[in-house]
Amino acid sequence: MGSCQTCVVRNRAICAGLEPDEVALLNDIGRRRNLAAGEQLLWEGESAVLVANVIHGVLKLSNSLEDGREQIVGLVYPSDFIGRPFGATTPYGVEALTDARVCVFAQRDFDNFAREHPRLEHKLLERTLTELDRTRKWMLLLGRKSAEERLATFLLEISQRMAPATCDTPEGQSEEFEMPFSRQQVGDVLGLTIETVSRQFTKMKRDGVIDLPSRRSVVIRDRMELEARAG
């Protein structure tokens, strides 16, 4: 495993704030793992054996319905923490949406480390509360917002979550970014058809809110208007 000190998400990940000796101990129990787009990291309902920090890429959290359909319940980005510390089973499946790199820990080793290092337990609590807030916003997004509001909200989130750590735009937002998803995946995430997603992209571009230099590239031209359309 490479040095934690050179990790690109070191100052934003769950291990931020640990002392150098604590980081060294954490380094000893972790390993780096590369995931190809579409590769599964965790399976819903199975024994919780792994937890991980996301270093690069985007992964989805999903649950399976009785009829075989999939519901995406969340997305994780670089510096996010995934898995269920101190839990017996994994409540959702975790799959790479893009090529990704993660820092993986055996759950038992990570749990023992967390119990012995209060700073890490505090970070876990902070992350849990943050994820609770995101879940409530996600419920609002899927349950109450129109197609335009969903896509506008989604683009604003991506512009913030995909911004590099050195981004100097307001609040760490990026005005231009590469979408890590296809139009179909955007529809799956937002509960919309690919046709609806394409219409909304076209409408926002026509109105001068965004620009689409390529299939995956997005440029926010009018952030205030995009925020207004997000509701």
The enclosing domain of 122 has a CATH number of 2.60.120.10
Same-domain check for residues 116 and 185: no
Same-domain check for residues 135 and 157: no
Same-domain check for residues 162 and 130: no
The enclosing domain of 207 has a CATH number of 1.10.10.10
Q: How does residue 169 score in pLDDT terms, banded at 50, 70 and 90?
A: very low
Cβ partners under 8 Å of residue 138, min gap 6 = 73, 74
Domain count, the chain: 2
Q: Choose the final residue of a domain: 120, 141, 162.
A: 141
Longest dimension (CA), the chain: 56
Same-domain check for residues 156 and 183: yes
> Comparing C-alpha atoms, which of 56, 42, 67 is closest to residue 102?
56
Same-domain check for residues 101 and 156: no
Q: How does residue 24 score in pLDDT terms, banded at 50, 70 and 90?
A: confident
End-to-end CA distance of the chain: 44
Full-model pTM: 0.79
Could you report the per-residue pLDDT of 34-72, keeping only the tens digit for each?
999 999 999 998 998 999 999 999 999 988 888 888 878
CB atoms inside a 10 Å sphere around CB 118? 9
Same-domain check for residues 73 and 43: yes
Cβ partners under 8 Å of residue 16, min gap 6 = 10, 123
Same-domain check for residues 129 and 202: no
Which spans in the chain are helix H? Answer: 20-29, 107-116, 118-144, 147-161, 183-190, 194-206, 223-229
Domain that holds residue 202: 145-229
Sequential DSSP letters for 74-103? EEE-TT-EEE-TT-SB-SSEEEESSSEEEE
Q: Choose the final residue of a domain: 141, 173, 192.
A: 141
Same-domain check for residues 40 and 91: yes
Instruction: Specify the higher pLDDT residue, 225 or 160.
Output: 225
Same-domain check for residues 136 and 162: no
Residue 106 has pLDDT above 90, yes or no: yes
Same-domain check for residues 113 and 132: yes
Contact 9, 16 (CB under 8 A): no
Per-residue tokens: 19:
């002392």
Q: What pLDDT is stored for residue 168 in this prediction?
A: 45
Per-residue tokens: 150:
């969903």
Q: How does residue 1 score in pLDDT terms, banded at 50, 70 and 90?
A: very low
Same-domain check for residues 54 and 122: yes
Same-domain check for residues 128 and 185: no
Q: Choose the final residue of a domain: 124, 141, 158.
A: 141
